[in-house]
Structure 1
Amino acid sequence: MVSRRNMLKLGAGCCTGVFLPNILHANTPTIKLGEINSYIPELEKVQTPYRHGWLLALEEINERGGIKGRKLEIISRNDEGDPDKATSLANFLVEKEGVNFLFGSVLSNIALALSKAANEMQIPFLATETRSDSITWEEGGKYTFSMRPNTYMVTKMLVNEAARLPVNRWACIAPDYEFGHTAVQHFKNNMNQVRPDIQWVHDEWAPLFKMDRNQLIKRMKDKNIEAIFNATFADDLQKLLNVNTQEKFFEGKSVVSLFSGEPEYIEAVSSPICDSWIVTGYPWQQIKTNAHMAFVKKYQSRFAESPTHSALSGYIALNAIAAAYQNSDDGTPDTLIKAMENLYFDSPLGTIRFRAQDRQSSMGTFVGKLAYFEGKSHMRDWYYADGADYWHGNSQVRLIRPQQ
């Protein structure tokens, strides 16, 4: 496994490129891709496996001979969670390193900055991990595509289950930035459509990775809350569960929690108090399709660790980019855009496609409940929610997305 020190070193700005040694002296020029992401300690459990995912895909693609005889080369940079730095890195990679495709970003503010830069430079950009709605809606552009289901889609997936809970008084806890606010807005809007009897008692906006857990719980204790929608993740989610050991805040409350069933975060919710939480996640051990089991076997063999959802996303994203180059006439930005607009490609989750209207992929996620046994939380009663079933309708997209 890669240590924190090595992971941060790999993601640092000094990293020049990642590709197979046997192409160093090849006569055929490589296809250069630029990868920009937030390789910061707070996101280590997300970003290390994500990087492993696209690295595994890179090695496989190049071992097969690359794309039309050309190997892929990835030049990776660490934006350190700073949108301005991400923009500067994008410009450097395109103007100085000669990349003609950008991908990456987990934080929505970074993704929006990269999207703006890519559209200004007229370079394709695939947002690989962000859940931002704006990136394909209000601030969508011709050159930007999004891989994972956006916030509207994943909250709507959860509402199908949350609406069945026999509770009325709800509170929301979310990080205080674009993703958190849109997650709460969409969850409330979708719940109100099917459960107009619900009362929204309280909202908590936690500064990202700077949550004051004691004050947060103190403000919520006397609100007679029956259910909670949670959109916090990573270190913030761990803090919430840690304070519960003292305050017993979650006892007797129904909880609906984004991403908490993903391997990156499930350790934080490995507690009896989290039993029966409704979550989105990735029960990789239980998915028995041939394509998925082949991915798991290759990933474990290569990195001596189990895959996470981020690893899967990195792997799928690079295969999407490779498929676009394969379907492109000449690999120029305009032909790559044309190839991406109606792209179909195979993945460990089956066939995934992009639709031209908003550049959103059909990649879905798994919805289920947490079950605590043998000292750990696991997902149970899960199913795969295909992203295409939760897309905004075409008429809605036309209303909210800028016309090209």
Structure 2
Amino acid sequence: MSIRNPSRRALVGGLAAAPLALAGASGTRAQGAGPIRIGELNSYSRMAAFAVPYRNAMQMGVEEINKAGGVRAMGGRPLEMVFRDDGSTPGDAVRVAEELLTRENVSFLAGTFLSNVGLAVSDFANQRKVLFLATEPLTDALTMANGNRYTFRVRPNTYMQTRMLVEAVKAKGVKRWAIVAPNYEYGQSAAANFKKLMAAAVPGFEVVVEQFPALGRIDAGATVGALGRARPDGIFNVLFGADLTTFVREGNTRGLFERRLVASLLTGEPEYMIPLGEETPEGWITTGYPWDKIEEPKHKAFVQAYRAAFNDTPRLGSFLGYVVAYLMRDMLEKAKSADTEAMVAALEDLRFDTIVGPAVMRGIDNQATLGAWVGETALNGRQGTMRNFRYEDGANHMHPEEEARAARKD
């Protein structure tokens, strides 16, 4: 993948482990007339397939915003991103978040990828009373049981995306299911949601086997063997990244997916479909991002600009990074300040435009209504794609308001 070298104005420090010692080391966040500095921490090394395109598009969006006059409600102040690798562990991420605040003097935090990392940074933000815009972690806990006033999430959460899949498969009459998911917060949450939602939607639903391989260390032979021996009629898959590729390859070899319905979170995202290539199984019902088939004019313009800038096709991470850049702009325009309490108040029930339509940051749980595409996997030559897809508005699949109010302790 071709990666453009970012400008100094929009990217400070790159991904160096040790940040530069800049003014503001006292821990106070600058509110002057200079750039609005934003600390973005993410799994750039471990999850590069998603995080690097995300960073690229966020950078592109920030440069567009600055070129158009910056945050006009704040006298045209430009945005300045400070990107850091979060180490893909809760401990490293909290250390990096602390350094972004105390050494880089950022006004707020954004990012993270893994759910356990996002939860750790959310707790840190709550303790420090600093805004955290969680862009990628999917666990429900982030905006439900562990939710707090200072944490907001952009992507549709695990419940929302699982509910989209359940709506897509419930009429097919499949009752005997297997579940395979990574053994950490995100995978466990997705499995629990699937069981709850399917039990309510399909009379006679049952789970005949569950497999929870360690993230990044799947024993595909053992996992596929255990699923096959249980003889399920459907498989709910939550694996992603290298685990997904290994699982699909072994499952194809052993015929695991033949004559079985597969509902799969995330598989339709280019980040994970591109490595599958001609091994992409056909007919899986999945969430994803069919970037080349989305007809909205704003999205087409984004794709054209992204391809021109990076000589590459966009990933879901690219879409998300670009959306987040403009969401940050819209928040600051409404807040008219980089003060934490002003930004938090601005985000609550904020209505913002995206390149695929409007969305809202729901105030009762700080969860955005951004949606996802649901369709079927297919092969186009030797490359996977999505067919028969539709965009599902996240507002139609969120936790019921009474559940959100009951779950949150803040």
Q: Quickly name the TM-score band, shorter chain normalised.
A: over 0.9
The amino acid that maps onto 1:334 is E
Q: Which residue of 1 aligns with 2:240?
A: 233
Write the distance in 1 (CA, Å) between the matches of 2:15 and 2:290: 28
What is the number of equivalent residue pairs in this alignment? 391
* Per-residue deviation, residues 284-320 of structure 1 (Å, max 9, x unmatched): 1111111111111111111111111111111111211
The amino acid that maps onto 2:242 is D
Write the distance in 2 (CA, Å) between the matches of 1:59 and 1:183: 36
Summarize the Cα distance change of 1:75–1:272 in structure 2 as closer, same or farther, 3 Å threshold.
closer
Question: Does the CA contact (< 8 Å) of 1:159 and 1:187 recur in 2?
Answer: yes
Q: Which residue of 2 aligns with 1:356?
A: 363
**Secondary structure, in 3 states, of the residue corresponding to 1:378?**
strand
Q: Which residue of 2 aligns with 1:37?
A: 42
Note if 1:280 corresponds to 2:269: no
Q: Which residue of 1 aligns with 2:85?
A: 78
Q: Which residue of 2 aligns with 1:57?
A: 61
The amino acid that maps onto 2:45 is I
Question: Does the CA contact (< 8 Å) of 1:260 and 1:269 recur in 2?
Answer: no
Shift of 1:13: 1.9
Write the distance in 1 (CA, Å) between the matches of 2:349 and 2:280: 44
Question: Does the CA contact (< 8 Å) of 1:241 and 1:268 recur in 2?
Answer: no
Q: Which residue of 2 aligns with 1:47?
A: 51
Residue correspondence of structure 1 range 207-246 to structure 2 within 5 A:
207-246=214-253
Question: Does the CA contact (< 8 Å) of 2:101 and 2:107 recur in 1?
Answer: yes
Residue 13 (structure 1) aligned to one of 11, 17, 38: 17
Q: Which residue of 2 aligns with 1:302?
A: 309
Shift of 1:357: 0.3
Question: Which stretch has the larger CA shift, 371-380 or 187-196?
Answer: 371-380
Write the distance in 1 (CA, Å) between the matches of 2:45 and 2:280: 30
Q: Which residue of 2 aligns with 1:22?
A: none
Shift of 1:5: 13
The amino acid that maps onto 1:33 is I
Shift of 1:185: 0.6
The amino acid that maps onto 2:58 is W
Summarize the Cα distance change of 1:293–1:373 in structure 2 as closer, same or farther, 3 Å threshold.
closer
Question: Does the CA contact (< 8 Å) of 2:122 and 2:151 recur in 1?
Answer: yes
The amino acid that maps onto 1:177 is Y
Shift of 1:167: 2.4
Summarize the Cα distance change of 1:201–1:5 in structure 2 as closer, same or farther, 3 Å threshold.
farther
Residue correspondence of structure 1 range 1-400 to structure 2 within 5 A:
1-2=1-2, 10-14=14-18, 28-41=33-46, 43-67=47-71, 68=74, 69-271=76-278, 274-400=281-407
Question: Does the CA contact (< 8 Å) of 2:19 and 2:103 recur in 1?
Answer: no
Normalising by structure 1, what TM-score?
0.92
Question: Which stretch has the larger CA shift, 367-376 or 351-360?
Answer: 367-376
Question: Does the CA contact (< 8 Å) of 1:355 and 1:361 recur in 2?
Answer: yes
Question: Does the CA contact (< 8 Å) of 2:248 and 2:281 recur in 1?
Answer: no
Write the distance in 2 (CA, Å) between the matches of 1:208 and 1:272: 21
CA RMSD of aligned residues (A): 2.0
**Secondary structure, in 3 states, of the residue corresponding to 1:280?**
strand
Shift of 1:251: 1.8
Structure 2, unmatched stretches of 5+, are 7-12, 22-31
Write the distance in 1 (CA, Å) between the matches of 2:138 and 2:210: 20
The amino acid that maps onto 2:269 is E
Write the distance in 2 (CA, Å) between the matches of 1:228 and 1:159: 12
Write the distance in 1 (CA, Å) between the matches of 2:351 and 2:335: 13
Question: Does the CA contact (< 8 Å) of 1:368 and 1:383 recur in 2?
Answer: yes
Question: Does the CA contact (< 8 Å) of 2:166 and 2:197 recur in 1?
Answer: yes
**Secondary structure, in 3 states, of the residue corresponding to 1:345?**
strand
Question: Which stretch has the larger CA shift, 163-172 or 286-295?
Answer: 163-172
Question: Does the CA contact (< 8 Å) of 1:346 and 1:352 recur in 2?
Answer: yes
The amino acid that maps onto 1:224 is R
Write the distance in 1 (CA, Å) between the matches of 2:77 and 2:280: 52
Shift of 1:271: 4.4
Question: Which stretch has the larger CA shift, 173-182 or 157-166?
Answer: 157-166
The amino acid that maps onto 1:216 is T
Question: Does the CA contact (< 8 Å) of 1:35 and 1:76 recur in 2?
Answer: yes
Q: Percent identity?
A: 34
Shift of 1:15: 6.2
Structure 1, unmatched stretches of 5+, are 18-26
